[in-house]
Amino acid sequence: MNSLRRLTASAVVLSTLFSTPCCAQYPDMVLGSYLDPATGANFTTWTAKPDSSGSGGVTFGVVLPADAAETDATEYIGYLSCASTSADRTGWCGIAHGGHMIQGLLLVAWPHKGQVLTSFRWATDYFMPGVYQGNSTITQISSSVNDTGYELIYRCENCFAWEDGEGYLGSMKSSSGELGFGYAQAADGPEDAGCPAGITLQYHTQGYSTWVGAVDGLTAPDYSALADGYRRSLCRVRGVKPQV
């Protein structure tokens, strides 16, 4: 029964992604790259432009393990850079693994007192997502916050397969050659911002989109070294908060 559910979930993710009429209802993401000067990691990135009032904007980047095209990756190193509307309206931004808000792993990030906090979330409908009950883990590599935005580099383990704690299983497979992602962004930050498990989010007023990335362009031959180097560099990162 579980394997049937798993198959169904994967099929739903893929069929919905690929049957979406190409990009008609979603704003285009602009393909680019970002070289992290601290580590030399070279991220393939997708950028959402600011909204119609000129506020917001998100860049998301990914580096995958070297063999991800042959062997399904279970983790990635991510780069998230999100613009704030102002020093007071700092907002939140998030990534949907699988490309859909519903029944895919959601990662939400927001600035709080000079740090970037995160929370894994899970949605069964287009409402405020609850706390994710699965075993994904995020490790912050570096982060920065200023009046115009916030940035996070992180390692996301067990982030390409998900479960909701009630038997629903889903995944995306890097060996298929493509991975689906989505983003969302809101102008106002979460309520209860200092408590990742207790946040309340407003709707993503500044935009959302979904897209598919080719795995070939995302792999890094030195992924293991990057991940190990990142682990060591964690000792130098100050103020990393417990993640939910």
Q: Which residues bind ligand HEM (CB under 6 A)?
A: 94-96, 100-102, 106, 108, 121, 126-129, 182, 184, 201, 203-204, 208, 210
- Cβ distance to ligand HEM smaller for residue 16 or 42: 16
| Count, residues in the chain | 244
What are the tokens at 36? 């992290």
Beta bridge partners of 191: 200
Burial grade of 100 (CB within 10 A; 0-12, 13-18, 19 or more): buried
Contact 237, 141 (CB under 8 A): yes
Shortest separation between residue 196's beta carbon and ligand HEM, angstroms: 12
Of the CA atoms within 13 Å of residue 209, those in its CB half-sphere come to: 23
Of the CA atoms within 13 Å of residue 205, those in its CB half-sphere come to: 16
- Cβ distance to ligand HEM smaller for residue 65 or 99: 99
- Cβ distance to ligand HEM smaller for residue 26 or 241: 26
Shortest separation between residue 1's beta carbon and ligand HEM, angstroms: 26
- Cβ distance to ligand HEM smaller for residue 156 or 220: 156
Chain position carrying tokens 């000792």: 235
Shortest separation between residue 11's beta carbon and ligand HEM, angstroms: 16
- Cβ distance to ligand HEM smaller for residue 149 or 180: 180
Shortest separation between residue 79's beta carbon and ligand HEM, angstroms: 16
Q: Report the residue number whose CB is nearest to ligand HEM.
A: 94
What are the tokens at 31? 């393909």
- Nearest-angstrom CA–CA distance, 158 and 73: 9
Shortest separation between residue 20's beta carbon and ligand HEM, angstroms: 9
